[in-house]
Structure 1
Amino acid sequence: MIPAPAPTTSPWRGGRWLFGAVWLLFMAYPIIGVVTADAGWGVKGILLALLGIFIIVYVLLCVHAMFTAPVRAASRNLAIAALTLIGVALLPVLHTEAFAISPFVMAAVAFAAPWRTRYALAAVVAIVASAILVPEFFGWGIDTGFLVVMVVVGLTMGFTRVMRDGERERDQAAQRQRDLNAQLAVVAERERVARDVHDILGHSLTVITVKSELAGRLVDLDPERAKTEIAELNALAREALAEVRSTVGSLQTPELPSVVASAASALRAAGIEAHLPDPDEDVGANATLFAWVLREAVTNVVRHSGATRCDVTLTPDRIAVVDDGHGSPLLTYGNGLRGLAERVGACGGRLAVESDARGTTVTATVSS
């Protein structure tokens, strides 16, 4: 079994947001710095509120940057600007301790900044440089150990950004190649169909034309032979029609590998976690039938189930599509499944549909 690509479900449901939030433990340092600062409680209250806003913006930015569809560039820029301004607002009270939030700003730039890589790296370098120059300018002094941590974090974030952008470029190049291969496959299929139609109709219509002209000339000269030619013409026309229908029918027959790929794409787009069989798995003569079953079952999962997970198991004589949706007894009476049951029955098999509040299972079994 191979899993489909990760779906774009909400990160709040699975607790994945904790991956970014766990590092907020280090926000204890600036919070303690504000509480113990030599300032009035009015100022402290404002700074603590700003730190609360900082935490919220940081978590939201990390969650949307790492786990969901990309937000607009303007929104990401605004969020990074807000984090930076809050850090600046802390400087008059916390002095050097205000730079304790700089690793979070560098992480936001590395993971979420919509800028080009060189600009993001320049921003990381600027943050590290400010941690050195600002305290020096105001004579606050700086902890060497803290400075080392800043440099290490800056290098790590910069390297992370370079690696992430490189991986994204490779993924985009691979996607462009897949799109090109798909276009080439369509072109090749069109050429094949054109050849088949030409081979079928070109020859058949030529013979039909010749025989019809001959029959027209023989109607008065040799009626019996004209009848023979017309009979052969009719037989040839029926044969050509059957060949055309066969060609069209082969175009409408689904292939299991392409249906598996299409199912993965549809489930991913619907935010459903999918576990699908290997598209190259050999199931023998039942491959076409199971492709029909898989296509119809996945269509129902995407449209009606409300599921978060879909599992497909496949053997040479059985396919099962299981989802964890809300289920519905109406699914057993749909036109699609009724037609599918007839198709499976015509192949000597049996289609079973079980649906309740825990989900739906569609199983097609063919006697070996």
Structure 2
Amino acid sequence: MTEPRRSVGFGSRFGWLAAVVWLVYLGQPLGTIWKHPPGLARDLGLVAIVAFGAGYLALFVRLRAAIWRRRSIPPGQAAAALGGLFAIGALIIPSAGEDWMVTLVYVSASAVLILPTRAALAVVAVLVVIPVVVPQFVPGWEPESGVAFAVLLAAVAVFAFGRLVERQTQLLDAQQEIHRLAVAEERARTARDLHDILGHSLTVIAVKAELAGRLLEIDPGRAGAEVADLERLARDALADVRSTVGAYREITLATELASARTALRAAGVVAELPTSDVELPPARSELFGWAVREGVTNVVRHSGARRCVIRVRPDEIEVLDDGRGPLVDGADGPHPGHGLLGLRERAEQLDARVVVGRGPGGRGFRLQVSFAGALP
């Protein structure tokens, strides 16, 4: 199955603008550099601050692409990028003086974004100390507690943003997994329903076709009636398939008992079915209908039985025959397949129990679906 593509909207195409907005704080050192007397220091400062802003943006875009692709920047590359960003920022010191410390805010934010948590904490701690300690050793500089606070605040804000991005990524993964499971469940449901519908209908059609073939020379009139039944059954099967694909087909106990009577009679099996309707909730009626369909299909197709009994109670249904029965008591029968598996899945959805095995006295086959609790 093709994995759903992530939506590509304004946020995914222009998310880098969020990093551009924060470059406004470089205006302070830029203004100081611009006021510096013309010369090598001023030119170096201008080039360095432009390179610093470009490097910060490039690092942001690189990290964003790595997150989108479920990858991380290798530690060596991350350390080199961070060191390079710090060094470029330091180049503006000759022209910007103590205002260069504004660049530490960007280095702090970048460290939290690209380094492992412990390494990022260590880097942020050093960057917080620099604006307070370094000015004490440089004549004319004043300790910048405001810059130190900004460095710490930027680290905390970016850390929170990173956790938000991580949660968003997990949410996207969860949504994709839910979509995948829903598609898989729908495919399994459709396969199960088609198997149950066609398995039963085609079995009855095959039995009637065989009977009609034997009656052609003995009793042409009855053979014609069987052929007419074949046409009706084929049309019913086609309608069932169409309604299954359209997801509006309804299975009930009453309709399946009527179909079972026809199928058993065509197969020459004596049928003992309930003579009165049992009032059941819709969900239970549908489950018992599937049980009748599966049980009768097995009787007609595999059992070689001469007699089939269906007993219905409000909390239980039983299908019994006097045929070969399972090879091992408790097994799914002589020819286990998808039908009983599908019936078990339906029963589990309603907290019902499916039991298969030998019939009373160790003879034949017994299929039982029962509820232990209250009506669903």
Q: TM-score, normalised by structure 1?
A: 0.53
Give the CA deviation at 1:66. 7.6
Higher relative contact order (Cα pairs below 8 Å, separated by 6+ residues): 1
Give the CA deviation at 1:65. 6.4
The 5-angstrom pairing of residues 1-368 of structure 1 reads 6-8=9-11, 10-11=13-14, 19-28=21-30, 30-32=32-34, 35-36=36-37, 41-59=39-57, 61=59, 73=73, 80-91=82-93, 96-110=98-112, 113-136=113-136, 138-140=137-139, 142-144=141-143, 146=144, 148-250=145-247
Instruction: Name the CA shift for 1:64/1:70 in 2 (closer, same or farther; >3 Å).
Output: farther
Report the more deviating stretch, 157-166 or 54-63.
54-63
Instruction: Name the CA shift for 1:104/1:25 in 2 (closer, same or farther; >3 Å).
Output: same
Report the more deviating stretch, 51-60 or 151-160.
51-60
Identity of aligned residues (%): 32
Tell me, in whole angstroms, the C-alpha distance in 2 between the residues paired with 1:78 and 1:155: 22
- Structure 1 portions without partners, runs of 5+: 252-368
The amino acid of 1:150's aligned partner reads V
Give the CA deviation at 1:84. 0.9
Tell me, in whole angstroms, the C-alpha distance in 2 between the residues paired with 1:11 and 1:79: 23
Number of residue pairs aligned between Structure 1 and Structure 2: 238
Deviations 1:336-359 (A, max 9, x none): xxxxxxxxxxxxxxxxxxxxxxxx
Tell me, in whole angstroms, the C-alpha distance in 2 between the residues paired with 1:187 and 1:15: 39
> Which residue of 1 is the match for residue 290 of structure 2?
none
Deviations 1:187-229 (A, max 9, x none): 3312321332133212211211211121122122212211221
Deviations 1:263-305 (A, max 9, x none): xxxxxxxxxxxxxxxxxxxxxxxxxxxxxxxxxxxxxxxxxxx
The amino acid of 1:236's aligned partner reads L
The amino acid of 1:42's aligned partner reads L
- Is the Cα contact below 8 Å between 2:135 and 2:142 reproduced in 1? no
Superposition RMSD in Å: 3.8
The amino acid of 1:157's aligned partner reads A
The amino acid of 2:101's aligned partner reads F
Instruction: Name the CA shift for 1:230/1:199 in 2 (closer, same or farther; >3 Å).
Output: same
- Is the Cα contact below 8 Å between 1:58 and 1:104 reproduced in 2? yes
Instruction: Name the CA shift for 1:30/1:68 in 2 (closer, same or farther; >3 Å).
Output: farther
Deviations 1:145-185 (A, max 9, x none): x1x11221122112112211221232233233323322332
Tell me, in whole angstroms, the C-alpha distance in 1 between the residues paired with 2:184 and 2:8: 27
- Is the Cα contact below 8 Å between 1:50 and 1:86 reproduced in 2? yes
Tell me, in whole angstroms, the C-alpha distance in 2 between the residues paired with 1:173 and 1:69: 12
**Matched residue of 1:203: which SS?**
helix
> Which entry has the higher C-alpha Rg, 1 or 2?
2
**Matched residue of 2:91: which SS?**
helix
> Which residue of 2 is the match for residue 304 of structure 1?
none
Give the CA deviation at 1:6. 4.9
The amino acid of 1:115's aligned partner reads L
- Is the Cα contact below 8 Å between 1:106 and 1:154 reproduced in 2? yes
Instruction: Name the CA shift for 1:132/1:29 in 2 (closer, same or farther; >3 Å).
Output: farther
**Matched residue of 2:200: which SS?**
helix
**Matched residue of 2:114: which SS?**
coil
Tell me, in whole angstroms, the C-alpha distance in 1 between the residues paired with 2:222 and 2:65: 78
Instruction: Name the CA shift for 1:97/1:139 in 2 (closer, same or farther; >3 Å).
Output: same
Tell me, in whole angstroms, the C-alpha distance in 2 between the residues paired with 1:17 and 1:131: 23
The amino acid of 1:123's aligned partner reads V
Instruction: Name the CA shift for 1:16/1:151 in 2 (closer, same or farther; >3 Å).
Output: closer
Instruction: Name the CA shift for 1:32/1:7 in 2 (closer, same or farther; >3 Å).
Output: closer
Give the CA deviation at 1:115. 2.3
**Matched residue of 1:73: which SS?**
coil
- Is the Cα contact below 8 Å between 2:212 and 2:227 reproduced in 1? yes
Tell me, in whole angstroms, the C-alpha distance in 1 between the residues paired with 2:171 and 2:219: 69
The amino acid of 1:143's aligned partner reads E
Tell me, in whole angstroms, the C-alpha distance in 2 between the residues paired with 1:23 and 1:91: 16
Tell me, in whole angstroms, the C-alpha distance in 2 between the residues paired with 1:26 and 1:195: 70
